[in-house]
Amino acid sequence: MARPRKMASSKEASQTPITAKGARRLKSWDEIPSWQQDNEYILSGYRQATGSFKSCCESLGYVHNETVNIYSHVIGAATFLTAPIYYYRALYLRYPLATQADVFVFSTFFYGVSICFILSATYHIMSNHSPEVQRFGNQLDYLGIVILMWGSTIPSIYYGFYCDPRLQKIYWANVSTLATLCVVATLHPRFRHPDIRPYRAAMYAGLGLSAVVFVMHGILLHGWTVQNRRMSVDWMGLVALFNLMGAVIYAARVPERLRPLRYDIYGNSHQVLHVAVVLAGLAHMLGLSRAFDYLHTHGSVCT
């Protein structure tokens, strides 16, 4: 995942070397066009702009400064794509009271996270292709974030408001509406204009804060103890901690700003963000597992 990058002018783009030959010779910050420049503290390890999807894919076979970003989310996607097989056998079949609704909300979570990681990995693989592909890939990257946020929220609302079907539907409708607005803001050309940026940021903030609203509402209605068992609020807190940690490190651009060149390939802030997001996904998965267990052992009778 990445912040939007400054796009090159048509003149600058035309001067960019578009050739797959010698693409394995990594470039320095000063050698790449501005549309590839995102973090001025990463000074080396850049792939040459190639204009070739084949060359972009070939970069999976050698080490550069996007390698960890790519493989962290390739591995993450593979994990969350295969996890449903285990969960179906280990959890769903264990409880005779488990329903298709459980399958639906878990599937929404697993495939929402997987799609996010797939789009993120695709973006990082193709980010040295051309300005146009880089820009489109960046949009897909942000689309994946929206899908992850939506897919993670749906099951938490289901288990947290299992005994409040009206509130369950209201919160599902709210988060789905906000997610749809974020998708439009991400993909529609009109919303790329700098003047629209505050509105786009507000939509993303609204989607993120919607989780805080329904969690707090549930606690106010049913108390911490009950709602923590139903929704695994403590695990959701760990999810928030991982995401916040990754975002702060990413925004601060540490440790690379403290030790130039040392973290260009391994250990820079963008890579920390990627790993933190994967850990957040795993924490959310464990929290949902506990919520599922609670519901189908002694929490399914509503009073």
Query: Residues forming the annotated binding site?
Result: 124, 270, 274
What interhelical angle do 269-294 and 100-126 show, nearest 10?
Answer: 170
Q: Whose CA is closest to 51, among 20, 11, 82, 25?
A: 20
Which tokens is 225 given? 């103890």
Contact 126, 134 (CB under 8 A): yes
Tell me whether residue 89 is exposed, middle or buried, using C-beta atoms within 10 angstroms of its C-beta: 0 to 12, 13 to 18, 19 or more: exposed
State the DSSP string of 252-278: HTTTTTTSTTTTSSSS-HHHHHHHHHH
How far is 146 from 148, CA to CA, in rounded Å?
Answer: 5
How far is 227 from 212, CA to CA, in rounded Å?
Answer: 13
Contact 70, 124 (CB under 8 A): yes
Query: What length is written for the chain?
Result: 303
Contact 176, 153 (CB under 8 A): no
- H or E stretch covering 25: none
Residues annotated as binding site for Zn(2+)?
124, 270, 274
Phi and psi at residue 282, to the nearest 5°: -65, -40
